[in-house]
Structure 1
Amino acid sequence: MNHTNFKPVFGMLAAAVLSACTLMPKYEQPAVAVADTFKYDTAEPGIQAASLGWQDYFADPRLHSLIEIALERNTDLRQAVLNAEIYRKQYMIARNDLLPSITGTGSGSRSRTAADLSGTGNARVGEAYSVGLGVAAYELDLFGRVRSNSEAALQGYFSSAANRDAAHLTLVASVAKAYFNERYAEEAMALAQRVLKTREATYDLSKLRHKAGVISAIDLRQQEALIESAKADYENAVQSREQARNALATLINRPLPEDLPQGLPLGRQFKISRLPAGLSSEVLLNRPDVRAAEFALKQANANIGAARAAFFPSINLIGSLGTASTDFGNLFEGPNRTWSFGPSVSVPIFNWGTNKANLDVAKLRKEAQIAAYEGAVQSAFQDVSNALTAREQLDKRYNALTKQSRAYSDALRLVNLRYKHGVSSALDLLDAERSSYGADTQVLAAQLTRLENLADLYKALGGGLKRFSNDVQ
């Protein structure tokens, strides 16, 4: 077999696999001035939020079911997942530009030429057959333009995937907080009903004392006002419960199922209540919004390489290799080999100003992404610091309010006994009831705020991407 005819094609393929240089700037991670550790990180070192599955963190099986449904059906998360998939496909397209696009061709034809047109005066039948491989307009990436575009597409995909993870974390925390508000409203309803029954019982006793002339009509009317106040509080709690359920229905993108498991009370919502924050560098690794910002910065860095490469010539290769014959039986014989090779060079001449402006834009976009990255890091540390500070103060406030509630409850019990025996006045009883109910309401509200804070801290530390501790979503 004669290999001479293959030399141009071999040269084309060799050029295609030449290692091309790249004009991308060397990436350097921006230095952001943040503390190494967090103030109020009082939890003992242990498992990190990012490695703790949400079913290992939240205890309520009813909440587990709602999160499962939301992760499957939520529209915002589905959109983020689809956007990440779009970027992945775009990267695959850009990556394929690094390799020649080789197509196979084959053709066969038979035709009859009339006698008057044959030149010999005799009619004849002609045949032609050909097969081959062809490369169409493959850019020889000597200056790294295609590689830079491919790298930019890859970093764009990474950034969109990190945004998808951020949407995942936000959804888990949002479902948990909406569910906590539903449970809070239900417990507020129960509290209002208990207070209403107590006030109605006191009112019945007061009516007897009023008939006996022991208390005045003013005292009686004040107790009636407290009864109506409890009814109003109950209806307000019902409204809050329905609004929380509406929020949950929106998050799971369907009406609340009827067969959800029984929920747990507010005080038993978490399996772990003292998550450690750890070092600041760990937050950088675990926060998807910080990762998304850095990938966007790397994408802008790669775009500079593509903009720089536009100043240099681009070389495109076009060629084919095959066989052709008028006899199908001789189609693959050596003398019937065919080839073609046609490189083309495009040199920028009068578009220097446009290329310079494009490069300046690419550099400015990188500077903007540096600022965005620094902002994302600072925002991440602010989120964690605020959540840790709130956790510390909320725990102290909740403990103080709990003690206050117990004191007021005990005072109400004593005043109620004194009132029944005619020692305390109706005014004393009214004040004791208002104080006790107000303290119980404050405890319930503080409990909700603590739960929301623990959900926010879990999200701020990068928790929620894993379903179980050993099962990555």
Structure 2
Amino acid sequence: MKKSLIALIAGTTMLAGCNLAPRYERPVGAVPVALPQGGVYPAAATDALDVSRIGWQEFFLDPRLRQVIETGLANNRDLRVAAANVLQARSQLRVQRSALFPTVNAGGTATYTNNIMGAMGAGGGAGAGNVSSDIEIYQATAGISAFELDLFGRIRNLTRAAQEQFFASEEAQRSARISLIAEIATAWLTMASDTEQLRLSRQTLKTFEDTLRLTREQFRIGVGSELEVRQADTNYQSAVNDIAALEASIALDQNALNLLVGTTVAQEQLPSGLSSDPVTRDALPSDVSSDVLLRRPDVLRAEHLLIAENANIGAARAAFFPTISLTGTVGTISTALSGLFKSGTYTYSASPGLSLPLFDGGQRAGNLAYAKASQQAAVATYEKAIQTAFREVADALAQRGKIGDQIQAQSNRAESARVAARLSDARFKAGVDSFLTSLDAQRTAYAAEQQLVATRLIQASNLVELYRSLGGGLGGEQPAGAGQTAAPQN
């Protein structure tokens, strides 16, 4: 019996290295080797920074914005959900990994039996009394029950799948963190832009109010016409409307920012406007290889899920082979509690078992086909994740390549419009130009200033988006499962 058990264990050990999962190969060719260059795309920056090594504390220059982001990382509820998902995946991995090891149970029993037999009297007749005997049996055991010997890698592949799903949940948390940083920054910049627009509208309202007062006074004394009063009032009411709309927008901006941060943002941390001073670093790379996209958390998450589906194929294939389990106990038994652990009371049992379904109505074949189809879907999902990342970076680079020209043109336009409005007003007061020309110049100057603020918002938001799309925001954090992503399976 002992020799048979030893032979069984030795045989299973030799087969333990068998793995029926297909060898993993990372899909290639989903995107071009290099990101777009030339044309509208910016030239390479000589002082470009490695985005994957820059933490958000270094990238964002405004101390108020850094404080808001730090608060958001501590309080955002979506980020807490992502952290809880990581804990759930880690617990599931522990549960699945436990199947690789036998569950050892210890137990003890005590049996008390009382037998009563009738006593025989003299001459063979029935006795006048009964004989009572007590039997005591004590037993202590330790053993394993139905432990599956993982000959064909079914359990190991299920464990690998759970491990990769855990890694994927960690990457999902990292991706949520990067997205949250970008969303908070964009919301803060949007509020800064609206605040700047409100300042501009109030300043312009004062100019329009002065003009309206002048035309009313001229109409009162018979120098001007009612038409001029109505035209001036049109500009004035337009600015009043803009102020009301911007005040509402700023309230909405703050509500959105509070939701992202997870608490009410302190007043001193809110933006006072959107000036020409940089809010972020702008020396970001433009000539990087598309391989940098492989380090993005959302792409790494898709790859971990692909490896998990690869392992599930191995588990489904293993189901076609016999399942061997082992039940065994060792212990001691005695008729006296004091003699339970004395010499000669040792006992053991071993019960190997083999199971191979002969007919299951196609269940195992269906499971294997499902696993293969899931793996094909995971390949497509991974390739789509890379293509999406490529498109996001390419879009951000395209916008960045021309945003400087837009800022310069809008600045020049706003300056020219301001000068034109000032000259037109002087010419009107000198009687050279009509009042309509002066009003039109004021409207043009106001619109040019508004467009300049909007373009500055686009520039600042573009840098945030480029930073996010290149995987910035985590500094030198080690990716989940680093060094294990492309581990081959034989």
Q: What TM-score, normalized by structure 1, do the two folds share?
A: 0.91
The residue type equivalent to 1:111 in the other structure is Y
What is the CA deviation profile of residues 367-421 of structure 1, one whole-angstrom value per residue up to 9, with x for unaligned ones?
A: 1111111111111101100011011122211211111101111111222233333
Gap change, CA 1:301 and 1:118, over 3 Å in 2:
farther
- Count, aligned residues: 464
1 CA distance for matches of 2:3 and 2:188? Answer: 72
Gap change, CA 1:262 and 1:303, over 3 Å in 2:
closer
SS at match of 2:329: strand
Paired position in structure 2 for 1:106: 108
1 CA distance for matches of 2:8 and 2:87? Answer: 34
1 CA distance for matches of 2:118 and 2:241? Answer: 105
CA contact under 8 A between 1:133 and 1:321: conserved in structure 2? Answer: yes
Paired position in structure 2 for 1:84: 86
Q: 127-136 or 407-416, which moves further after superposition?
A: 127-136
Matches within 5 A, 1:23-422: 23-38=20-35, 39=37, 40-42=41-43, 43-44=45-46, 46-107=48-109, 109=110, 111=112, 113=114, 115-116=116-117, 121-254=130-263, 256-258=264-266, 260-261=268-269, 263=271, 265-266=273-274, 267-268=276-277, 270-277=279-286, 278-285=288-295, 287-351=296-360, 353-422=362-431
1 CA distance for matches of 2:89 and 2:177? Answer: 18
1 CA distance for matches of 2:432 and 2:145? Answer: 103
CA contact under 8 A between 2:215 and 2:229: conserved in structure 1? Answer: yes
Q: Which of 15, 20, 34 matches 2:17? A: 20
What is the CA deviation profile of residues 164-221 of structure 1, one whole-angstrom value per residue up to 9, with x for unaligned ones?
A: 2222221111111111111111111111100001111222233333344443221121
Gap change, CA 1:184 and 1:219, over 3 Å in 2:
same
1:6 offset after TM fit, Å? Answer: 7.2
SS at match of 1:234: helix
2 CA distance for matches of 1:165 and 1:234? Answer: 40
2 CA distance for matches of 1:118 and 1:405? Answer: 124
1:139 offset after TM fit, Å? Answer: 0.5
SS at match of 1:123: strand
CA contact under 8 A between 2:293 and 2:470: conserved in structure 1? Answer: yes
What is the CA deviation profile of residues 64-117 of structure 1, one whole-angstrom value per residue up to 9, with x for unaligned ones?
A: 23322322232322222222221121111111111111122234x363625448
1:290 offset after TM fit, Å? Answer: 0.8
SS at match of 1:364: helix
State the superposition RMSD in angstroms.
Answer: 2.7
2 CA distance for matches of 1:158 and 1:257? Answer: 33
Q: Which 5+ residue runs of structure 1 have no aligned equivalent?
A: none
The residue type equivalent to 1:234 in the other structure is I
SS at match of 2:269: coil
Q: 404-413 or 72-81, which moves further after superposition?
A: 72-81
Percent identity of the aligned residues? Answer: 35
1:63 offset after TM fit, Å? Answer: 2.3
Q: 113-122 or 207-216, which moves further after superposition?
A: 113-122
Gap change, CA 1:75 and 1:281, over 3 Å in 2:
same
2 CA distance for matches of 1:262 and 1:414? Answer: 37
Q: 239-248 or 256-265, which moves further after superposition?
A: 256-265
The residue type equivalent to 1:52 in the other structure is I
The residue type equivalent to 1:36 in the other structure is V
Q: 72-81 or 364-373, which moves further after superposition?
A: 72-81
2 CA distance for matches of 1:250 and 1:219? Answer: 47
Gap change, CA 1:417 and 1:197, over 3 Å in 2:
same
SS at match of 2:471: coil
CA contact under 8 A between 1:151 and 1:302: conserved in structure 2? Answer: yes
Gap change, CA 1:164 and 1:262, over 3 Å in 2:
closer
2 CA distance for matches of 1:63 and 1:260? Answer: 11
SS at match of 1:453: helix
1:315 offset after TM fit, Å? Answer: 0.3
1:334 offset after TM fit, Å? Answer: 3.1
1:431 offset after TM fit, Å? Answer: 1.1
1:248 offset after TM fit, Å? Answer: 1.5
The residue type equivalent to 1:243 in the other structure is L
1 CA distance for matches of 2:229 and 2:272? Answer: 39
The residue type equivalent to 2:75 in the other structure is R
Q: What TM-score, normalized by structure 2, do the two folds share?
A: 0.88
The residue type equivalent to 1:113 in the other structure is N
2 CA distance for matches of 1:117 and 1:195? Answer: 120
2 CA distance for matches of 1:21 and 1:88? Answer: 26
Q: Which 5+ residue runs of structure 2 have no aligned equivalent?
A: 121-128, 481-490
2 CA distance for matches of 1:175 and 1:126? Answer: 78
CA contact under 8 A between 1:149 and 1:303: conserved in structure 2? Answer: yes
The residue type equivalent to 2:292 in the other structure is E
Gap change, CA 1:110 and 1:146, over 3 Å in 2:
closer
